[in-house]
Amino acid sequence: MALKDIVEQTVSGLGYDLVEIDRSTGGLLRITIDLPWSPPAESGKAGSVEQFVTVEDCEKVTRQLQYALEVDEVDYKRLEVSSPGIDRPLRHDQDFARFVGHVIDVTLKQPLGSAAAGQVSPTRKKFRGVLERVESAVGALAPTEQAWQILWRDEPVTKPGQRISKKRPPAPMQALGFVLSELKEARLAPIVSFKGRAQAPDPEPQPSDLN
């Protein structure tokens, strides 16, 4: 049985979601897990505080994985089970639905090309913006594809100590639409806030961070 199948069956069997598998040099096998999530309308817990993976959760999964990996004779030196970090990867439509309204980083498989329409570099692949769900027209996409978009703007890079005029008009807001099959990678933007991961309605990514 493939490593991914072993890990996924073990993790889901214990009631958790598998977020990521990473095999590093030196035999380190790093597994990232999360608690299952359901839309508020389905869970009936609208407005409830989101729960997070605990140390006890990681220890439980570690013990079970050690047994499963030994049975299937998987070669590794050290096993590490942890919760997602602030740059959590987004892989499935449910992940995107969960973090609508949050700032995310996306990397396209192919550069924008002619779709850039002269507004950004046609070779650009990386963008940061606020995630939104798109209601697609009937027949516009395959039945299994959900459309998404991020709202973003490119503000000019400012030098340290440079004063910005309050009269300077903001850069225009732009939208980048996509489906998951067009993405190479998507992650929550690693934005640290002492109030938690707040939603950001007006992202202002710097081009130097994205190109």
pTM over 0.85? The answer is no
CATH of the domain at 49: 3.30.300
Average of pLDDT values for 24-47? 78
Angle at 134 between CA 140 and CA 96, to 5 degrees: 115
pLDDT at res. 140: 54
Digit-coded pLDDT (tens) for 116-138: 777 888 899 999 999 999 986 55
Digit-coded pLDDT (tens) for 79-111: 999 999 899 999 999 999 999 999 999 999 999
Instruction: Assess if residue 183 is contained within a domain.
Output: yes
CA dihedral 97, 45, 33, 56 (to 10 degrees): 170
Domain boundary among 82, 103, 129: 82
Instruction: Answer yes or no: do 70 and 149 share one domain.
Output: no
Looking at this protein, which amino acid is placed at residue 159?
K
Q: Are strands 78-82 and 147-152 parallel, antiparallel or unpaired?
A: unpaired
Q: Identify the residue whose tokens are 């202002």.
A: 204
Instruction: Answer yes or no: do 53 and 106 share one domain.
Output: no
Residue 38 CB contacts under 8 Å (≥ 6 apart), including other chains: none
Q: How far apart are CA 18 and CA 35, in angstroms?
A: 9
Q: Are strands 78-82 and 28-34 parallel, antiparallel or unpaired?
A: parallel
